[in-house]
Amino acid sequence: MLNLRRGNSTEGSNPSLSAFFICGGIVFVEPGEKVRVRFAPSPTGYLHVGGARTAIFNWLFAKKYGGNFLLRIEDTDAARSGEDMVAAILDGMSWLGLDWDDDVVFQSKRLEVYDEFVNQLIDCGRAYKCYCTKDEIEANRQLAKSENRDYRYNHDRRCNHLTQSEIQTYDKAEMPYAVRLLLPEGKTKFVDAVYGEITVEHSQLDDFIIRRSDGYPTYHLAVVVDDHEMQISHILRGDDHLSNTPKHIQIYHALGWDLPKYCHLPLILGKDKQRLSKRHGATAIGEYEKAGYLSVAMLNFLTLLGWSSGDDRELFSRDELVDTFSEKGIQKKSAVFDEKKLEWMNGQYLNALEQSEFYQLVTAQLLNTNAIDELFISKDSAYLRRMSELIQPRIKRLSEIGEMTGYFFKDPESYDQKALNKHWKAADQITRFEQIQQRLGTIALFSIEEIEAVIRGYAEELQVGAGKILQPLRLAVTGIAATPGMFEIMELLGKDTVLRRLQAAISYLKKNPVSSSTINAA
């Protein structure tokens, strides 16, 4: 692991980094500076939350400073890259509302460009061909291990000392070779917007490979060439790339190019404080879309992972995030992905929607699950709108709609067993249901007010709290233990449906009495 020495002093730093400093502080964006940032995923997997968070920070940064946000697909690993994954990345970006400028850049279409710069580095003596095989390098590594020392290729730089005649002989024999960057002695210093000044001794590095023996560029070479040619001014990426930055800076120096400015973002952790991975649950953005999260809620939630507006505010509109975002709010501490927090936030956004917009989401979800059809919508839109009003304050995810609304469309086929054992254990429960059924049947106008008067009046007669009547009634009418207000539900379902369901509950209890042994067994 690299020893990244961190400090605040600028003494002895590379002159090309001087724009980072004003009065000892980091200035990440100079007045009038043209901002161009990029998101550069590798399509060896779907767009996960860590990558999406990086894309969001870059997008917000570009929007904040009136700059450009570019998209590059780093697909030089042909064996692991897939078109379906590229499509999923683009779909995830679009779902989050992260629009990009210019055409998408694909590294696989730029191999000749990388070759050009590799050859340029060889010609100017800043890179050299390495004909060593993997077996030879592994043997040297094992030898170093047996001698209790670190192995680095630049300890002997065997292939850098080959004569021109030897190189010509190897090339004539078509021996495969990689290309290594020749590192100078000394150290690399750079400044990061989050971590400050960082120093890396070159003795810790190696003459790293910039083109593999299969002819493909390594990540280090391709990313530098692309960032230069795309005129990227600022690089915001995960801090797992912090140790790559000295290598990239050396390629910039070798090619005589100006450096971009760096900002490395904290990692996202699971609740166990380990790096977020599939073992923590869904991490691909597409899974959260399927699970019923709103894109604006996901955008808001991911923005707050590793960034703070400086106060306790948690809910922002898209425009408010753009206005408020600043690199100064990016934190060093790794952020914890809390799905319960995301669910809460999503519920806040759902509850804040205009009722007409929420209604559209509800009907779309019910159509997708075949709970209703277009004919139902055209005939019973008033029923659906009222149902939507009732569930909106309670819903956390759109995928809950089916579970939360099933009883609005069909009678319960079963009853929640835990709730049954708790709420139907009264010895006279059947009698209570029969008396409620009889009294509700006498209501001429089946309204909330009339229903409530009957239920509360009956509770007073029994000298029990209204909840002792409502909870058993809720289970009988809906089959579940948690719902919106029962008076509102009963009014919407109508008298015939409520009485029919009460009769079904009575019949169930006569066949399946809730005894103390049943309760204990549960």
Please list the active-site residues: 278
- Cα 110 to chain centroid distance, Å, stands at 29
- Residue 245 to residue 259: CA distance in whole angstroms: 11
Check residue 404 and report its DSSP letter: H
- Residue 89 to residue 17: CA distance in whole angstroms: 34
- Residue 170 to residue 158: CA distance in whole angstroms: 14
Q: Which residue has the tokens 């095989």?
A: 133
Q: Which residue has the tokens 């001794």?
A: 201
Q: How far is CA 484 from CA 243, 395, 514, in A?
A: 53, 10, 26
Do strands 105-106 and 196-201 pair parallel, antiparallel, or not at all (unpaired)? unpaired
Q: Which two tokens stand for residue 513?
A: 């009495």
DSSP alpha helix (H) spans, 134-244: 134-146, 164-172, 219-229
Q: Nearest-CA neighbor of 377 among 368, 369, 367?
A: 367
Do strands 268-269 and 335-336 pair parallel, antiparallel, or not at all (unpaired)? parallel
Phi-psi region of 229 (alpha: psi -120 to 50; beta: other; left: phi over 0): alpha
Rg over alpha carbons for the chain, rounded to the nearest Å, is: 32
Q: How far is CA 186 from CA 156, 203, 323, 331, 414, in A?
A: 17, 8, 42, 30, 75
Strands of the 36-39 sheet, one edge to the other: 36-39, 68-73, 105-106
Give me the phi and psi of 386, to 5 degrees please.
-65, -40
- Residue 26 to residue 8: CA distance in whole angstroms: 10
Q: Give 132's contacts (C-beta < 8 A, 6+ positions apart).
A: 153, 158, 159
- Cα 103 to chain centroid distance, Å, stands at 24
Residue 214 carries which side chain, given as an amino acid letter? D
Do strands 209-211 and 178-181 pair parallel, antiparallel, or not at all (unpaired)? antiparallel
Work out the burial of residue 173: count CB atoms within 10 Å of its CB; fewer than 13 is exposed, 13-18 middle, 19 or more buried: exposed
Work out the burial of residue 167: count CB atoms within 10 Å of its CB; fewer than 13 is exposed, 13-18 middle, 19 or more buried: middle
Name 238's bridge partners. 265
Q: Which residue has the tokens 């015939």?
A: 496
